[in-house]
Structure 1
Amino acid sequence: MPRLVGRAKRIPVPEPLQSLALGPRHLSLLSYLLFDGALTVNELAARLEVAPTTASLLIGELSRKGVLERREDEADRRRRIVTIAASMRPAIEQWLSRGAGAWRGALRDLTPEQRQLFVDTLRAYERGVAGEEPEA
């Protein structure tokens, strides 16, 4: 596991993103938007497992840097839809696509049951590192 994390950390940040001081908290948010498409603030908060106010602060920070765009949801004007800014998408894709491709390749030959076991194992590891009780 340390080797896996070490290699992922060595993936170079593309030049257009280097001055933005992006950290792990930004990486998760950008990954969700890149791979799942536009999401609401509440959807992002749920996926990141943070409060909506925390997600909103992260989104605001990245919006001010020109990385993200927020727009009103046409179906519900109270909701905001968040997307990656078109000008930043190529650099973010370059940065994150190697990891996504590696996961797809690693999981490609597994059955759905084997993939689920793998995901469940990673989640159990995450809970253990966090000091949480194992699920029954």
Structure 2
Amino acid sequence: MSTEREGSGTAGPDVDDAVRTLLLLMPRMVGRAKRVKVPEELASLTLAPRHLSLLAYLLFDGPQSVNELAARLEVAPTTVSLMVGDLAKKGVLERHEDPADRRRKIVSITQERRAAIDGWIGRGAGAWRAALAPLGPAERRMFIDTLAAYEHGLADAEE
């Protein structure tokens, strides 16, 4: 493996050193994320990672329609509708009529579950906020794009 730095005057590790560092760091990050305890009142609900994403959008951005959630999660509205129905039966989410369009349903987290969900998701959000706050907007965009490219690279390797 090459240790030659790309570009002149860069103040950071070369690609191979960065890869080695990340290969050590990523398993530790995943391990820590897996050890985050689901609040006791939510533990019996068998929430999957896809539920976490849906709950995060509702927690941080407030009530939304099924179509808005589907667009953000990059899945079909029927998939979101099924997840919402499942979580509504478990008392996590509720659907309300949109006052502006009675045909449209707005999804929100129930008041009874909000504190538990905020405590659970908020811990990770706080860690991300602390890590990203010192970066400028362009640096944050590059970081997000890099993680997305890594995820896409793993997906491509599976196929």
The two structures share one fold, judged by TM-score above 0.5: yes
**Deviation at residue 97 of structure 1 after TM alignment:** 0.7
Out of 57, 75, 95, the position equivalent to 1:70 is 95
Return the index of the structure with the highest Cα Rg.
2
Partner residue, 1:100:
125
Out of 114, 126, 129, the position equivalent to 2:151 is 126
**Deviation at residue 117 of structure 1 after TM alignment:** 0.6
In 1: Cα distance, 2:126 partner to 2:85 partner: 29
Partner residue, 2:116:
91
**Deviation at residue 131 of structure 1 after TM alignment:** 1.1
Identity value in percent: 67
Structure 1: any 5+ residue segments left out of the alignment? none
Partner residue, 1:9:
34
Partner residue, 1:57:
82
Partner residue, 2:73:
48
**Deviation at residue 5 of structure 1 after TM alignment:** 1.5
Deviations 1:34-68 (A, max 9, x none): 11111110011111111100100000000000000
In 2: Cα distance, 1:123 partner to 1:6 partner: 19
Aligned length: 132
TM-score by length of 2: 0.80
Amino acid at match of 1:6: G
TM-score by length of 1: 0.93
Moved over 3 A (4+): none
Q: Which has the higher contact order (CA 8 A, sep 6+)?
A: 1
Amino acid at match of 1:7: R
Amino acid at match of 1:56: S
